[in-house]
């Protein structure tokens, strides 16, 4: 048990974190280096302004697409916000980041806050998964990687939930091992949308900002 | 200007789903200016239930957050338990305390939200007996019977086929929302069932296999998981039950459907959108689901229980309801997938084959046709027999049509 | 034309912007709710996200920063001719490149741009729809997709000049403004052509047509044939330079405006050295400056924002500036502006027989939109939209009361006597 935990929080963790960091950097740099058009039309508006506008605007669905998109967007926010909150402010996570990575600590959630955030995150993720396997379009277009991303993230969260009592080394080791796998796989997976969404919205925003439209 | 006779003479009316509700025009910051965003009803949502659903989602969210009220009380309680006061006559000493307990000397009453001062009572022993000598053996037996029954059903009755084969014409049956909340509830139910069964039967079944130390971890995991997902299940129920309420009202013919053996009978008695069996499952889920939810709240937040007996009673209700729901869930899962041809796609794609509908829910199909509400909107061009690519289904439809 | 060339196109056109899109898409399917063709057919294959899967596969294999890894793992695939043939339905028949899906996408993915790139590859493989390919060839050879070469142009301008009693200068030595028009106007909507000329003449502006470059429409943008696309805009630039024009006026032609205003720079490799304005933009400017006064018509009218002019072109407010003074009761459709639904015929769709069924079904959305305003008619600012409305309304027997923006300006402009 101790060996497993030592591996999962030690060498395997550092390896996974390195692959994560290098992989993300490689992917994003490489992507940007693919280049753009050789000439741009005379702008009517600001590309930079358009980029910022579109990045922010697409956080909220346009009213005309509701209620159809409503459940999807709500579940998405429940998941993402719940996950960010518990990832960043749950006591065991802050302890881990603080001790092992950053050397600083910050205020944490009370236990109940951790649990409520997790419940939102689970509810959101499960609803999103339910839609991915039942909506005809999503069924048709989802790649194995999209399903794997959902499942792996879910297992990371589930193993964390199972280890909540923080009384059994095996459960903590299981959680850490899954975290390591998640980190390792991250740069090669659809999870990269975490960063690429900024580029995607940004490029569209810049293109149409140049044309004087906020899309 | 008008739509003219040419339009009304068309066999298909303008899509009534496309009701646009003006929301007025507003200026957007920056570049694009007065944009008028109209509300367009989604193809898949029935009339006007948006606000109900948003309201429910909000309620669900508020419910989850309300745990903030319960859990601090729980934590306060946990602290208090470190130094439990002695409610019995301290002069009597340990032996005297046990004697008094066995004689059923009642504990002092407590008010809600203060830590119950009962650390121990004689009724606890009764509760343990009920759990270990009644619930576990009988519940276990019922569950084994359920599993066994499904296996026998699978072996002997096999898959109920679609009479006359597939027509290749799809009919829209369940909305996007209904399918999402169904699978949401099902997933959470499975997680709770597995963890709950570990909590009830784990010691007996698992310790001989994996040993005590490993079981300690498994049990801890099961408890944490069960406690976290419990409230999520309540949210799921609050979303699911209203979403399927319409068409689930029980009528006498539903009893008749059940009495005649449902789709096992030579001529399946006609049903509306939901047959007797489905309605039975819906109402069992409602009744026992609410019981399991209510009892679960006490069990997850013991601080709100005024006395231990509430928890004991809750546990018994919880376990009984769980056995009932798991038993029927097994049947529901089987009959909703492998047991009947053409049924699962209703809850995955949202669409079913017309012949399936005519065979199993003819009254529903008639009602749709009479109201002009029968639609294949949102359905793949033809419902594929093997859940594969639409092109294959399109060929099947062409074949069926020729 | 070959699969090899197609492949080259697919790979070379996948730059940082397209790669971002491909790496941001999480397959949520929300784009489908915005697409009129998907709404019409209900077929999940018609969801916008399905249209760029081919680019995704190629990207993984050739352009992804991790491409060597994917090739090792056998991920990603080069397309085969059969696959491209089947893709035609998604790329030409059920997409007008209107860009509405981008508004619904949480990642802001410009699917229309990717469809354009797939069309580039298809055209390079010789798989663009034959009717569009023919028109594109004619455009490159003769100067117009309907075969209006310079000689024919002279004849048409003469006819229009006589019929509508308006002067149509051609090949002036020097002019401030170069006017373009589409073959649809030259052949079909001649009142619009006459109207533009009337307005410019009455305002005393120094303008001309040029046989060097006169066609606003760009079939290269429909087929995906980059050579044709480039040739069409190159002619316009040459013509403008020849007459020394400081302004090039794009007529009521959606993709035509976008072609010279927004696509030309990338096609040619340089910024065209003159101002390019949509006719409504130009008229709105004059109106703002007080040089164009308008008289209101007593009618209730709504306005159909052409996708390539509004959402993808940026000209949203200018037509409204004019319409507020042209119409006593102007009503907005819902939704309108950049959120407007496509006419259903753009991008060449209305020219394809194979797309007719889904296009007509999608047109119901427009009928409903117009009917819901309760207006007596709808104003057009794009000849292609106009043509789509005309032919689809005829099919449904719908009396839609179409008005044309430029024609209204011409009829209702107030000319002060000098």
Tens-digit pLDDT profile for residues B23-80: 333 333 322 223 333 333 333 333 345 556 666 677 767 767 666 665 655 555 555 5
Token pair belonging to B161: 């086929």
Q: What's the CATH number where B389 sits?
A: 1.20.950.20
User: Would the pLDDT of B359 be above 60?
Assistant: yes
> Which is more confidently placed, B123 or C391?
C391
Confidence of residue B391 (pLDDT cuts 50, 70, 90): very low
Query: Chain A residues with CB inside 8 Å of C66's CB?
Result: 26-27, 30, 187-188
Residue located via tokens 């649990």? A115
> Which chain A residue has its CA at the smallest distance from C274's CA?
A42
Query: Chain C residues with CB inside 8 Å of B18's CB?
Result: 364-365, 368
> Which chain A residue has its CA at the smallest distance from C267's CA?
A39
Residue A187 lies in a domain: yes
Residue B76 near chain A (CB below 8 Å): no
User: Would the pLDDT of C104 be above 90?
Assistant: yes
Is there a contact between A68 and B37 if contact means CB atoms under 8 Å apart? no
How far C65 CA sits from the closest chain A CA (Å)? 5
The answer to pTM > 0.90 is: no
Q: How far is Cα C116 from Cα C110, in angstroms, rounded to an integer? A: 10
Counted residue by residue, chain C has a size of: 418
Count up the domains in chain A and report the number. Answer: 1
Query: Chain A residues with CB inside 8 Å of C266's CB?
Result: 37-41
Residue B297 lies in a domain: yes
Across the interface, of B7, B40, B379, the residue whose CB is closest to C398 is B7
Residue B269 lies in a domain: no
Q: What's the CATH number where A195 sits?
A: 1.20.950
Residue A179 lies in a domain: yes
Lowest mean pLDDT among B240-254, B255-269, C103-117, C227-241: B255-269
> Which chain A residue has its CA at the smallest distance from C261's CA?
A41
Q: Residue C316: its pLDDT value, please?
A: 97
Distance of CA A82 to CAs A118, B20, B60, B64, Å?
6, 34, 15, 12
Is there a contact between C44 and B9 if contact means CB atoms under 8 Å apart? no
Confidence of residue B84 (pLDDT cuts 50, 70, 90): very low
> Which chain B residue has its CA at the smallest distance from A126's CA?
B184
Across the interface, of C33, C44, C396, the residue whose CB is closest to B6 is C396
Lowest mean pLDDT among B4-18, C127-141, C399-413: B4-18
Could you tell me how many CB contacts below 8 A there are between chain B and chain C? 88
Query: Chain C residues with CB inside 8 Å of B378's CB?
Result: 42
Residue B369 lies in a domain: yes
H/E element holding B9? none
Q: Is C248 helix (H, G, I), strand (E, B) or coil?
A: strand
Residue A91 lies in a domain: yes
Q: Residue B43: its pLDDT value, please?
A: 33
Tens-digit pLDDT profile for residues B144-198: 999 998 898 888 877 888 888 888 888 999 998 899 999 999 999 999 999 999 9
Residue A16 lies in a domain: no
Domain range for A85 is 44-210
Confidence of residue C199 (pLDDT cuts 50, 70, 90): very high
> Which is more confidently placed, B260 or C385?
C385
How far A175 CA sits from the closest chain C CA (Å)? 25
Across the interface, of C24, C33, C53, the residue whose CB is closest to A69 is C33
Counted residue by residue, chain B has a size of: 402
CA C289 to chain CA mean position, Å: 28
Residue A31 lies in a domain: no
User: Would the pLDDT of B207 be above 80?
Assistant: yes
Count up the domains in chain B and report the number. Answer: 1
Backbone phi, psi, residue C331, to 5°: -120, 135
Average pLDDT over residues C2-9: 91
Q: What is the ipTM of this complex?
A: 0.96
CB B241, CB B285: distance < 8 Å: yes
User: Would the pLDDT of B383 be above 60?
Assistant: no
Q: How far is Cα C276 from Cα C254, in angstroms, rounded to an integer? A: 14
Across the interface, of C320, C334, C397, the residue whose CB is closest to B20 is C334
% of residues, chain C, pLDDT over 70: 100
Tens-digit pLDDT profile for residues A156-183: 999 999 999 999 999 999 999 999 999 9
CB atoms within 10 A of CB B55: 11
Residue B16 lies in a domain: no
Q: Residue C39: its pLDDT value, please?
A: 92
Is there a contact between B31 and A74 if contact means CB atoms under 8 Å apart? no
How far C111 CA sits from the closest chain B CA (Å)? 20
Token pair belonging to B198: 């570990």
Q: Residue A68: its pLDDT value, please?
A: 85
Q: Tell which of A71, A80, A204 to mutate to test the C interface (max C CBs under 10 Å).
A: A204
Confidence of residue B98 (pLDDT cuts 50, 70, 90): low
Residue A35 near chain C (CB below 8 Å): yes
Q: Residue B382: its pLDDT value, please?
A: 53
Query: Chain C residues with CB inside 8 Å of B2's CB?
Result: 399
Distance of CA B318 to CAs B116, B185, B297, C415, Å?
21, 18, 10, 86
Tens-digit pLDDT profile for residues A134-148: 888 999 999 999 999
> Which chain A residue has its CA at the smallest distance from B49's CA?
A67
> Which chain C residue has its CA at the smallest distance from B12's CA?
C361
How far C67 CA sits from the closest chain B CA (Å)? 28
Q: Residue B40: its pLDDT value, please?
A: 32
Token pair belonging to B78: 């946990």
Across the interface, of C33, C335, C398, the residue whose CB is closest to B36 is C335
CB C238, CB C214: distance < 8 Å: no
Residue B115 lies in a domain: no
Per-residue pLDDT of chain A (215 residues; tens, 9 = 90+): 589 999 999 999 999 999 999 999 999 999 999 989 989 999 999 999 999 999 999 999 999 998 889 999 999 999 999 999 999 999 999 999 887 788 888 999 998 899 999 999 999 999 999 999 888 899 999 999 999 999 999 999 999 999 999 999 999 999 999 999 999 999 999 999 999 999 999 999 999 999 999 99
Confidence of residue B89 (pLDDT cuts 50, 70, 90): very low
Across the interface, of A63, A136, A208, the residue whose CB is closest to B349 is A136
Q: Tell which of A26, A27, A141 to mutate to test the C interface (max C CBs under 10 Å).
A: A141
Across the interface, of B45, B183, B184, the residue whose CB is closest to A67 is B45
- What's the number of CA atoms in the CB half-sphere (13 Å) around residue B90? 3
Query: Chain A residues with CB inside 8 Å of C34's CB?
Result: 65
Mean predicted lDDT score pLDDT of chain B: 75
> Which chain A residue has its CA at the smallest distance from C19's CA?
A31
Distance of CA C351 to CAs A35, A162, C124, C347, Å?
35, 60, 20, 9
The set of chains that have 3 or more CB pairs under 8 A with B is A, C
Confidence of residue C78 (pLDDT cuts 50, 70, 90): confident
Tens-digit pLDDT profile for residues C8-66: 999 999 999 999 999 999 999 999 999 999 999 888 999 999 999 999 999 999 999 99
Residue B133 lies in a domain: yes
Alpha helices in chain A (DSSP H): 2-9, 11-32, 47-57, 70-89, 91-96, 111-134, 136-141, 144-162, 169-185, 193-210
Q: How far is Cα C400 from Cα B3, in angstroms, rounded to an integer? A: 8
Q: Tell which of A41, A43, A150 to mutate to test the C interface (max C CBs under 10 Å).
A: A41
Q: Tell which of B17, B21, B26, B30 to mutate to test the A interface (max A CBs under 10 Å).
A: B30
The set of chains that have 3 or more CB pairs under 8 A with C is A, B
Is there a contact between A135 and B44 if contact means CB atoms under 8 Å apart? no
B positions 285-344 inside 8 Å of A (CB): none
Token pair belonging to A137: 């379009």
The domains located in chain C, with CATH, are 3-126 (1.10.1060.10), 131-285 (1.20.1050), 291-414 (3.40.50)
Across the interface, of C339, C368, C396, the residue whose CB is closest to B37 is C339
Alpha helices in C190-333 (DSSP H): 190-202, 219-223, 226-243, 254-258, 264-268, 279-288, 317-326
Query: Chain A residues with CB inside 8 Å of C44's CB?
Result: 136-137, 139-140
Is there a contact between A26 and C65 if contact means CB atoms under 8 Å apart? yes
Residue A14 lies in a domain: no
Across the interface, of A111, A129, A209, the residue whose CB is closest to B31 is A209
User: Would the pLDDT of C376 be above 50?
Assistant: yes
Residue A60 near chain C (CB below 8 Å): no
Residue A136 lies in a domain: yes
Confidence of residue B267 (pLDDT cuts 50, 70, 90): confident
Residue A74 near chain C (CB below 8 Å): no
Burial class (CB in 10 A: 0-12, 13-18, 19+), A131: buried
Confidence of residue C97 (pLDDT cuts 50, 70, 90): very high
Residue A186 lies in a domain: yes
Is there a contact between C371 and B3 if contact means CB atoms under 8 Å apart? yes
Is there a contact between B214 and A135 if contact means CB atoms under 8 Å apart? no
Domain range for B318 is 127-251+278-401
* CA terminus-to-terminus distance, chain C: 59
């Amino acid at each position: 048990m101790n060996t497993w935990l030592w591996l999962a929080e030690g060498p395997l963790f550092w390896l996974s974190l390195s692959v994560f960091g290098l992989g993300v950097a490689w992917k994003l740099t490489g992507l940007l280096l693919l280049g753009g058009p050789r000439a741009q039309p005379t702008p009517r508006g600001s590309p930079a302004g358009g980029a910022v506008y579109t990045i922010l605007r697409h956080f909220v669905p346009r009213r005309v697409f509701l209620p159809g998109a409503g459940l999807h967007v709500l579940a998405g926010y429940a998941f993402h916000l719940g996950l960010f909150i518990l990832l960043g402010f749950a006591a065991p996570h802050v302890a881990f980041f603080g001790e092992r990575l950053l050397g600083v600590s910050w205020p944490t959630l009370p236990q109940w806050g951790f649990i409520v955030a997790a419940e939102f995150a689970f509810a959101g993720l499960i609803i999103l998964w339910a839609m991915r396997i039942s909506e005809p379009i999503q069924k048709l277009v989802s790649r194995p990687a999209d399903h794997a991303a959902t499942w792996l993230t879910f297992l990371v969260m589930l193993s964390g939930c199972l280890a909540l009592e923080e009384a059994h080394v095996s459960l903590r080791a299981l959680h850490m091992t899954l975290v390591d796998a998640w980190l390792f796989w991250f740069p090669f997976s659809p999870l990269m949308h975490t960063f690429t969404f900024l580029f995607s919205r940004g490029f569209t925003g810049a293109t149409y900002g140049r044309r004087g439209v906020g899309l | 200007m008008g739509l003219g006779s040419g339009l009304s003479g068309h066999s298909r009316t303008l899509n009534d789903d496309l009701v646009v509700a003006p929301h007025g025009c507003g200026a957007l910051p920056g570049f694009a200016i007065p944009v008028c965003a109209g509300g367009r009803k989604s193809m898949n949502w029935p009339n006007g239930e948006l606000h109900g659903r948003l309201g429910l989602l909000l309620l669900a969210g508020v419910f989850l957050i309300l745990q903030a009220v319960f859990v601090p009380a729980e934590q306060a309680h946990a602290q208090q338990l470190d130094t439990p006061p002695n409610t019995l006559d301290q002069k009597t000493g340990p032996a005297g305390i046990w004697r008094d307990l066995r004689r059923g000397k009642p504990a002092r009453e407590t008010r809600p939200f203060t830590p119950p001062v009962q650390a121990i009572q004689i009724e606890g022993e009764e509760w343990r007996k009920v759990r270990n000598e009644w619930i576990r053996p009988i519940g276990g037996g019922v569950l084994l019977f359920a599993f066994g029954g499904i296996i026998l059903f699978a072996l002997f009755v096999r898959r109920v086929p679609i009479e006359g084969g597939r027509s290749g014409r799809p009919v829209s049956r369940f909305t996007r929302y209904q399918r999402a909340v169904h699978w949401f509830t099902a997933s959470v139910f499975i997680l709770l069932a597995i963890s709950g069964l570990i909590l009830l039967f784990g010691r007996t079944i698992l310790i001989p296999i994996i040993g005590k130390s490993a079981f300690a971890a498994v049990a801890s995991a099961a408890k944490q998981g069960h406690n976290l997902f419990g409230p999520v299940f309540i949210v799921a129920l609050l979303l699911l039950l209203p979403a399927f309420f319409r068409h689930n009202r029980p009528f006498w013919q539903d009893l008749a459907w059940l009495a005649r053996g449902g789709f096992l009978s030579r001529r399946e008695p006609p049903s509306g959108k939901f047959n007797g069996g489905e309605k039975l499952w819906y109402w069992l889920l409602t009744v026992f689901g609410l019981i399991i939810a209510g009892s679960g709240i006490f069990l997850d937040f013991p601080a709100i229980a005024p006395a231990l007996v509430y928890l004991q009673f809750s546990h018994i209700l919880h376990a009984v309801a769980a056995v009932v729901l798991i038993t029927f869930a097994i049947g529901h899962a089987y009959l909703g997938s492998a047991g009947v041809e053409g049924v699962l796609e209703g809850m995955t794609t949202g669409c079913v084959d017309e012949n399936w509908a005519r065979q199993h829910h003819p009254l529903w199909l008639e009602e749709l046709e009479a109201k002009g509400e029968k639609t294949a909107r949102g359905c793949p061009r033809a419902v594929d027999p093997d859940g594969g690519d639409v092109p294959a289904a399109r060929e099947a439809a062409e074949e069926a049509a020729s | 034309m070959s699969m090899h060339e197609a492949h080259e196109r697919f790979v070379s056109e996948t730059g940082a912007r397209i790669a971002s899109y491909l790496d941001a898409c999480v397959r949520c399917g929300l784009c489908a709710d915005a697409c009129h063709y998907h709404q019409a057919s209900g077929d999940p294959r018609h969801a916008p996200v399905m249209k760029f899967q081919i680019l995704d596969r190629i990207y993984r294999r050739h352009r992804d920063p991790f491409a060597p890894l994917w090739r090792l793992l056998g991920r990603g695939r080069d397309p085969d001719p059969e696959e491209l043939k089947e893709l035609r339905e998604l790329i030409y028949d059920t997409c007008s490149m209107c860009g509405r899906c981008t508004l619904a996408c949480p990642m802001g993915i410009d699917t229309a741009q990717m469809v354009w790139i797939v069309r580039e590859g298809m055209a390079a493989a010789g798989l663009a729809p034959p009717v569009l390919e023919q028109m594109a060839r004619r455009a490159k050879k003769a100067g117009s997709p309907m075969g209006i070469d310079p000689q024919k142009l002279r004849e048409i301008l003469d006819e229009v000049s006589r019929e509508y009693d308006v002067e149509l200068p051609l090949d002036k030595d020097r002019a401030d403004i170069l006017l373009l028009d589409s073959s649809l106007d030259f052949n079909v909507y001649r009142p619009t052509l006459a109207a533009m000329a009337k307005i410019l003449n009455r305002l005393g502006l120094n303008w001309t047509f040029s046989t060097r470059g006169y066609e606003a429409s760009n079939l290269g943008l429909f087929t995906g044939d980059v050579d044709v696309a480039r040739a069409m805009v190159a002619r316009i630039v040459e013509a403008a330079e020849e007459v020394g024009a400081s302004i090039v006026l794009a007529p009521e032609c959606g993709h035509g405006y976008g072609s010279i205003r927004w696509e030309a720079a990338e096609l040619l490799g340089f910024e065209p050295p003159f101002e390019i304005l949509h006719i409504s933009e130009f008229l709105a400017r004059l109106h703002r400056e007080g040089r164009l006064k308008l008289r209101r018509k007593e009618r209730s009218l709504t306005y159909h924002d052409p996708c390539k002019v509004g959402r993808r072109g940026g000209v949203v407010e200018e037509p409204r500036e004019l319409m507020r003074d042209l119409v006593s009761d102007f009503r907005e459709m819902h939704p309108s502006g950049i959120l407007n639904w496509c006419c259903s015929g753009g991008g060449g769709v209305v020219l394809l027989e194979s797309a007719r069924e889904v296009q007509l079904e999608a047109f119901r959305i427009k009928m409903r939109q117009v009917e819901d305003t309760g207006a007596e008619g709808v104003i057009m600012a794009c000849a292609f939209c106009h043509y789509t409305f005309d032919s689809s309304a005829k099919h449904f027997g719908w009396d839609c009361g179409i008005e044309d923006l430029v024609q209204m300006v011409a009829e209702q402009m107030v000319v002060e006597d000098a």
